[in-house]
Amino acid sequence: MALFRIAAMLLTALLLLSCKHTDAGSTLYEELGGRSGINQIVDNFITEIEYSPDIFPYFENSDVARFHEKLSEHICMLASGPCAYTGDTMEQVHAGMNISERDFNIGVDLLINAMNKANIPHTTQNKLLATMTPTRKEIIYK
């Protein structure tokens, strides 16, 4: 019985941790404005890409609707939202693009512009960017 209680407590702790609750008591997903907030960020990001002479060439032959859907899912997943990512792995997607550190950083700047235009507070922006940092090594020079 005691063992069962300990297991239940551990499971609860694990679930709470996996929700990545923030100081304000809301999840990062909620801070981003849920699925509609994320869609707005991705809309803005696509516009930023279209106007970037450095980044647009990478996307010249891309299916924009698919990119929108998969990136929204990906951000939702990173922010502990209620969605499953159904796209390819970061390594598979960016393989052969040979994305330089410089272009990666420009991509991050474009995402920051997109979040500013969606009125996402800087503290929230930093939390999302922090979830993306580990994916960096799966994306550059592949």
- Applying CB under 6 A, the residues found at the interface with ligand HEM are 55, 58-59, 62-63, 66-67, 70-71, 74, 87-88, 93-94, 99, 103-104, 107, 132, 135, 139
Terminal CA-CA length for the chain: 52
Nearer to ligand HEM, 33 or 87 (CB): 87
Nearer to ligand HEM, 16 or 101 (CB): 101
Nearer to ligand HEM, 92 or 123 (CB): 92
Runs of H (alpha helix) within the chain: 2-18, 28-31, 34-50, 56-59, 64-78, 90-94, 101-117, 122-132, 136-139
In the complex, least distance from residue 88 CB atom to ligand HEM, rounded to whole angstroms: 4
In the complex, least distance from residue 35 CB atom to ligand HEM, rounded to whole angstroms: 15
In the complex, least distance from residue 131 CB atom to ligand HEM, rounded to whole angstroms: 9
Could you tell me the two tokens for 117?
A: 């235009």
Nearer to ligand HEM, 31 or 73 (CB): 73
Q: At a CB cut-off of 8 Å and minimum separation 6, what does 113 contact?
A: 44, 48
Round to whole Å and give the CA distance between 10 and 124.
28
